[in-house]
Structure 1
Amino acid sequence: MSNLVVKYKNNWIPTKSLEEMSETNYDVLIVGSGPGGGATLQRLCELWKGQGAKKIGILEMGDKLFHSHSLNIPTQNVNTARDQLLPDNSTVIGERLPQFSGARMVYALGGRSLFWNAATPRPIREELTKWPIHPRELNVYYGMAEKLLHVTTDYAKGSSMQNVLLKRLHAGGIFEANDMPVAFDMTPSRQGEVHSNPWFSSINALAAALFDHPYDLAINAFASQVIVENGKAVGVQVFSPNKKAHIIRAKNIVLSASTLETPRILLNSGIQGPAIGRYLTGHVSIIAVGTISRRQFSDKLGNLSVLKFETNESPYQIQILGPDQYFSYQQFEDKVLKDQLVIAYASFGRVQSRAENRVVLDPNAKDEFGVPLQQVQYSLSNKDLQVAEQVKEGIRQSATAMGVTLDESTLVLRPPGSDMHESCTCRMGDDPNTSTTNRHGQVHGVQGLYVADNSVLPTLTAAGPVLSNVALAIRLADHIVRQSG
């Protein structure tokens, strides 16, 4: 039986060894397989379909974990994925980052996209006008990202709970509450076309890429530094688990290793840039719960998937989910509902982007390969703490409007990093003094070196970073293809 398990594990997506990959000079080499790396890969393979001479490689420091989002696994539901699978398959990196103690990483193919809750609102429009990309161009790429992620607002369509509580929110003056956009493929399987992975993870993008154009994938591949010659990136030094170093050469290198890991690679590479690692931005985050009587709804209860969108006056968003664990559950489960239904308020408030919040190399700590570990300098400003109070009040107002009895003891600010939305440490901009990359995601002063994860976001609004990350990654792939001729 164990041989069968290993065979499946090794064959559901093809991989290559670092030894094999070191023999190829790639047109594009991507470091990291989360949403940014996956979207870059998918778009490159789509555009280079039929162009067999183009060589693409992707490196993942983790192993294969799941072939899909955890909520697509038939034996899992919201509770088990959150309480068992995630703790068992993630690393609480915050244990050695005292000022960012809530940080948690998933080192695996697909990264944290295997566990995200898939809320995909666009950032508030007023903020996007400050980005170094024209809003009309951004609008096109957000549309492409929403298409790739199968974003829908119909997830709770027909639910009496959704309909009743949305009406109450609007009647209570909370007009920015609406159906939550989620990355969920609602297309039914038919005529042989199988849609078996409705919750999006980066594995979907890797799969879409696979059917368009061949690429080389190495797992358990730890990228330690970028090799730069005469102002141009030419390769990446990568360690295998046996601590052997390999050089994988490429014409273009895309770092998508994470907001905490990508600046570590850049800094360890000796790449100069005053903004590298700076402007670390997350959210002030609260997850509160309350209860409401089941008798207030029809038998066609359904689920609850509401988002209180960010506004200029209210710089936070609230995901309102329920009932109980039935926001997402398997068709095999009996929906056992108590008289009092639990409603969750997952809330995220804006944090100022400040240069002093940063990722640095720790001179006193190295990993198993002898590479310096990162350390985080992070604090919340008075304005950030004021936003946290606004978040609490927003939850109270929403609960009151909905007729939900809020558990006040749950209105507690989570430790920094708990939101898993950290961004902006290699942010995009026109000024090399305050940004790491230019408007195309290319690291200032280093030809052929790009960033395509949450770290490249110019700013972080109250919306989660994944949709923006994917939009910018698709745009980056288009740029690389244009540059490659």
Structure 2
Amino acid sequence: MEKRYDIIIIGTGAGGGTLAYALKDSGMKILILERGDYLPEEPENWNTKAVFTEKRYKTKEYWYDEQGNPFSPGTNYCVGGNTKVYGAVMYRLRKEDFKEIKHEGGISPAWPIDYEDLEPYYARAEELYLVHGKSGEDLTDPPRSSPFPFPEVPHEPTLEKIAARLKKQGLNPLHLPMAVDLHEGGKCIRCKTCDGFPCNIHAKGDADVCCIQPALKSPNVTMITNAYAHRILTDESGSRATAVEFEKDGKIFIVVADTIVASCGAVNSAALLLRSANAKHPEGLANQSGLVGRNYMMHINTAVIALEPRENPTVFQKTFALNDFYFGSSTFPYPMGNVQMLGKLQGSMMKDKKPFIPYPILNGVAKRSIDFLLMSEDLPDNENRVTLTEDGKIQVQYKVNNMNAHKELIKETKKMLKRAGYPILVAQPMGGIETNSHQCGTIRFGNDPDTSVLDQYCRAHTVQNLYVMDASFFPSSAALNPVLTIVAQALRVGNHLLKQKTIIPAGESMHVSK
């Protein structure tokens, strides 16, 4: 194993994987560390019971709540990270989401950049991740410099009927922006095992397929799997990160780099910086502001199940969305959030929430259901935070907020679906501390070192060559799927590094302080 690199990227998800892709042709010597392995290609990829009941691909580790009770987090350690099992929805944030917004439950703070700063990178991200969509349907859409790179994924007949009924109500149903390989000659077969499943045929636009695999074709890019990063080391001044200490096969290694990037996800990147405390950074690396781990956010999610006696023959259900209530309504002048389809529910998917209901009943319900996901913004709160226990385990302190807006979104959704002909509607909260697929905010970026940890290019204010590239940097969560924004910022940061990078020759020594 070589011990000296220009850049070390820790993590292969939407942030780390995309950044590796962006730098693959730079000539820089890049090392990618991934704590997991390649997710296996096997029949269980599309087995509902294996994925949802047995949780075959989720981590087996436990995190701890505020009271010290263990819980199993909904996260995946593998090449590609959580994008291997995400729902493949890739929204741009709305232009207004970058500004301060007043919510019923508090303030969503402004970002240090504007939508226009990310727009060209959004366009590149959509092309890179195979995003299919249709411009002009969504009244909340921000301005675009180019159309979607691929046409929208068409609705199946049942969803076409719902869309028509909602249009008659004066609403604006739209096609979800989906990252799937559905263009001519593509691999996607529009199955019902997309949302929450690994794709057995690599037809999902994930960080492994779109970024890591192409990056590894470069002779300058190396990846080590099953490599758990314990901590980031600095020089004696504490002003420069110098090396990463990681464990593989029970052995400890130290690798040195000129630039180090943490891309472990909002919880694990915060935990890594906290574990990296030293004499110059006693509260955690780059934590002079005290904000590392704070302002942990997830979205507030509820599934609304519409039932009717007839069976729903839809297979690929995740094509439909509605943003009419995103910024509020005439009766509730605060943002509510986004409505979009879930992947088609199957009985085993509901067993966790309804453990005492027999499978035949759950399967019968699933055959007749049309399944919606309601997503509201989770506002930043200093006391919602990630810390470490005395023995170094991850502890999450979290209380939900902005619930009145979410309740209004549920109410509006039920009203529109009843008018559309669905008399039986069941709302099932999808929250809980273990449900963290949209985790963000723990290492926020900003212009003021006193109120943020990173600058606008995700570089630590107090450690000049340390970057964090995942959803940790979000100052607010908005109410849309975060992956496209992570990818766009990773491309932007990659472009910045290409312009700013000063490569120290690989043979030059660097003192490492532990």
TM value normalised by structure 1: 0.80
Q: Does 1:145 align with 2:152?
A: no
- How far apart are residue 265 of structure 1 and its match? 1.1
Q: Which residue is 1:90 aligned to?
A: 58
Q: Which residue is 1:233 aligned to?
A: 241
SS at match of 1:245: strand
Q: 1:128 aligns with which of 90, 94, 98?
A: 98
Q: Would the alpha carbon gap of residues 300 and 387 (structure 1) be closer, same or farther in structure 2, given more than 3 Å must change?
A: closer
Q: 2:338 aligns with which of 290, 314, 317?
A: 317
Q: Which residue is 1:255 aligned to?
A: 262
Q: Would the alpha carbon gap of residues 452 and 344 (structure 1) be closer, same or farther in structure 2, given more than 3 Å must change?
A: same
C-alpha distance after superposition, 1:363-384 (max 9, x if no partner): 2x3xxxxxx1221121123xx2
More displaced, 31-40 or 211-220? 211-220
Contact 2:338 2:479 (C-alpha < 8 Å) held by counterparts: yes
- How far apart are residue 123 of structure 1 and its match? 1.5
Q: Does 1:220 align with 2:241?
A: no
Contact 2:4 2:256 (C-alpha < 8 Å) held by counterparts: yes
For 1:97, the aligned partner's letter is: D
Q: Does 1:443 align with 2:460?
A: yes
Q: Which has the higher helix share?
A: 1
- How far apart are residue 103 of structure 1 and its match? 3.1
Q: Which residue is 2:35 aligned to?
A: 61
Q: Does 1:189 align with 2:198?
A: no
Contact 1:162 1:304 (C-alpha < 8 Å) held by counterparts: no
For 2:177, the aligned partner's letter is: P
Q: 2:373 aligns with which of 343, 346, 351?
A: 346
C-alpha distance after superposition, 1:423-477 (max 9, x if no partner): 0101111112221100010011101100011111221111122111111111111
Instruction: Give the whole-Å Cα distance in 1 for the aligned partners of 2:429 and 2:60.
Output: 20
- How far apart are residue 247 of structure 1 and its match? 0.9
> Mapping of 1:64-463 within 5 angstroms?
64-66=38-40, 76-77=45-46, 79-80=48-49, 82-83=51-52, 87-91=55-59, 96-97=64-65, 103-129=73-99, 130-153=110-133, 154=151, 156-157=153-154, 159-175=156-172, 177-189=173-185, 197-204=202-209, 205-229=211-235, 230=237, 231-242=239-250, 244-270=251-277, 271=285, 272-273=287-288, 274-292=290-308, 294=310, 303=317, 305-309=319-323, 311-313=326-328, 314-321=335-342, 341-363=368-390, 365=391, 372-381=392-401, 384-408=402-426, 410-412=427-429, 414-463=431-480
C-alpha distance after superposition, 1:293-314 (max 9, x if no partner): 659x9x9997452112362214
Instruction: Give the whole-Å Cα distance in 1 for the aligned partners of 2:129 and 2:203.
Output: 10
- How far apart are residue 289 of structure 1 and its match? 1.4
C-alpha distance after superposition, 1:24-80 (max 9, x if no partner): 3111100011111110011111x42xx3xx21100011122236xxxxx77754835
Instruction: Give the whole-Å Cα distance in 2 for the aligned partners of 1:236 and 1:79.
Output: 38
Q: Would the alpha carbon gap of residues 281 and 256 (structure 1) be closer, same or farther in structure 2, given more than 3 Å must change?
A: same
For 1:162, the aligned partner's letter is: L
SS at match of 2:231: strand
Structure 2 unaligned blocks of 5 or more: 100-109, 134-150, 187-199, 278-284, 329-334, 348-362, 503-514
- How far apart are residue 250 of structure 1 and its match? 0.5
For 1:183, the aligned partner's letter is: A
Contact 1:253 1:448 (C-alpha < 8 Å) held by counterparts: yes
Q: Which residue is 1:35 aligned to?
A: 14
Contact 1:156 1:303 (C-alpha < 8 Å) held by counterparts: no
Q: Would the alpha carbon gap of residues 268 and 337 (structure 1) be closer, same or farther in structure 2, given more than 3 Å must change?
A: closer
Q: Would the alpha carbon gap of residues 405 and 101 (structure 1) be closer, same or farther in structure 2, given more than 3 Å must change?
A: farther
Instruction: Give the whole-Å Cα distance in 2 for the aligned partners of 1:210 and 1:155.
Output: 30
Contact 1:29 1:252 (C-alpha < 8 Å) held by counterparts: yes
Contact 1:156 1:302 (C-alpha < 8 Å) held by counterparts: no
Q: Would the alpha carbon gap of residues 75 and 220 (structure 1) be closer, same or farther in structure 2, given more than 3 Å must change?
A: closer
Instruction: Give the whole-Å Cα distance in 1 for the aligned partners of 2:161 and 2:248.
Output: 55
C-alpha distance after superposition, 1:131-172 (max 9, x if no partner): 212322211111111111111125541632232211212222
Q: Would the alpha carbon gap of residues 78 and 395 (structure 1) be closer, same or farther in structure 2, given more than 3 Å must change?
A: farther
Contact 2:307 2:365 (C-alpha < 8 Å) held by counterparts: no
Instruction: Give the whole-Å Cα distance in 1 for the aligned partners of 2:463 and 2:44.
Output: 47
SS at match of 1:455: helix
- How far apart are residue 361 of structure 1 and its match? 1.8
Q: Would the alpha carbon gap of residues 232 and 389 (structure 1) be closer, same or farther in structure 2, given more than 3 Å must change?
A: same
SS at match of 2:161: helix
Contact 1:305 1:320 (C-alpha < 8 Å) held by counterparts: yes
